[in-house]
Structure 1
Amino acid sequence: MTQQRTGGTSAADAAVAYVAALAERLAADGCHVAAATWRDHDVVVGSRSDRKARWFGTRSELFVCASAVPEVDQPTLAAFTGWALEHAKGLRGGLPGARNAAMVLPALVSDDVRQSAAAWAAQDARVLAATVIGRPVTVDTSEPGRTRVALYRGRARYGGMFTGHVLEKASLYFP
């Protein structure tokens, strides 16, 4: 059975439309936008590099990997997060280390987001090799005209000085 929204568009179409609008928001903010594939799902990949004096000359690279999927459960989000962290690690420029950090927002968008997945996303940041920090995101598009976004909004053990910047960008990209 297919869920229908007012106006004739399916609930799954809302997730696809959200990802397309996200790509536009990324481009408007100066991100390089590319495409990738994960488990036969199209993925929008946005990336940008920022350096600020208050970060003591450290460069922060921000990667956003987002895909519309039929459903989001905790194992699926964990698998996508792992893929996104590795993908960002492969894309990042410069030498990893104390002067360069990669922040990743792996986002799965669906009209069927399980509470366990949203809770897992909001729990904590995920770290790969101390210089690639991920903040998984779920976007629930099940309610017409409204989205529910879940992500960890606290400080990370590593990369804590970038928290404000990442959360500012997350609120811009995932309204």
Structure 2
Amino acid sequence: TYGFDVKSIGAFAWVPYVGAAFGSIAGGWYSGKLLAAGNAVGKARKKAITLGSSLMFLGLVSTIFFADTPEKFVAIVAVVLFGFQFSIGNVQTIPSDIFKGSSVGSLAGFGGTVGVFSVIVLNFLVPVITKTSFTPTFVIIALFVPLGVLAIYFFGGNLLPIEEKSR
């Protein structure tokens, strides 16, 4: 439980969200700078996703090896959420980079559905996995981070806009 009691949770619970807020802003700023420097949309998005995911991965691994106090745990989780928001802002922008019109909403909705489904599954699995330790959960999540990045590179291709057919 990383030494948290109810008072500790109340004192520190807001800190990771600040990390997430800064990550959201920084991820958009970073990819915007890459685009302004002349990088292709796909390259800018992939660089931002890779950088944010690297921070997430390192943070998740750090929870296992270095989070031995509540303060360290909260600081590391703030880094993880910074990296997550840095990446996810760019992941969620990809549909509008590639498609136009109602296709953007459909693809974003499909992505959101998959995300919610994974949360539902994890809500059942995490209590079972964490009966003795949170470490297996952080290991599993850490393993999914590079898999997600690889999926973007493998399935995303060049991330070029699809031209609309004229009617």
TM-score with structure 1 length normalisation?
A: 0.27
- Larger C-alpha radius of gyration, 1 or 2? 2
RCO higher in structure (CA 8 A, sep ≥6):
2
Higher strand share: 1
